[in-house]
Amino acid sequence: MFQIGDLIVHPMHGAGVIDDVIKEKVAGTTQEYYVFKMPVGGLILKIPTANCQAIGIRSIISPTEAKAFFAGIPALEVQSSANWNKRYQENLLRLKSGDLNEVARVVKGLMRRESRRGLSTGERKMLHSAKQIIVSEIALVEGCAYQDAEARLDYAVMQKAPVPQ
């Protein structure tokens, strides 16, 4: 269970802080909710405490894990379907997983596709969302500006993987 002030990640919205824990009565049932607040944009969500694990809520990574994350991005393998609908569904599942490396795969695949062919409106929105999920967490972990975290992500994604010897 999380506490007020804990930094957490929502798989579809990114990183933020638990601002409060409240009880509300909905449809005749009283439930406990985390009040999740994102530092940038001011998004506020009420997340049922009982459903956190099912939703994929997790604590943010450590600075050491962030460093390893950026170091591993160039070597991430990205495979995507040529079929737009199938590719979109695969990427949506990666986003919903809440796994930072899977979200990075979405960013890497869509950024590479954008540089070669351009993206549809739906994929452009997905790329923006995926980047924001990563950037929001890195900015909180490292205490840096969103723009700096996004620049680091863009740089890491466009790097070539080192050739094994």
- Residue 129 confidence (pLDDT): 93
For 89, residues 6+ apart whose C-beta sits below 8 A from its C-beta are: none
Q: Is the pLDDT of residue 4 over 90?
A: yes
Q: Please tell me the distance from the alpha carbon of residue 161 to that of residue 164, in angstroms, as a whole number.
A: 9
96 has a pLDDT exceeding 70: yes
Instruction: Report yes or no: 60 and 7 within 8 Å, Cβ to Cβ.
Output: yes
Average pLDDT over residues 56-61: 93
- Check residue 78 and give its pLDDT: 86
pLDDT of residue 106: 95
CB 129 within 8 A of CB 49: no
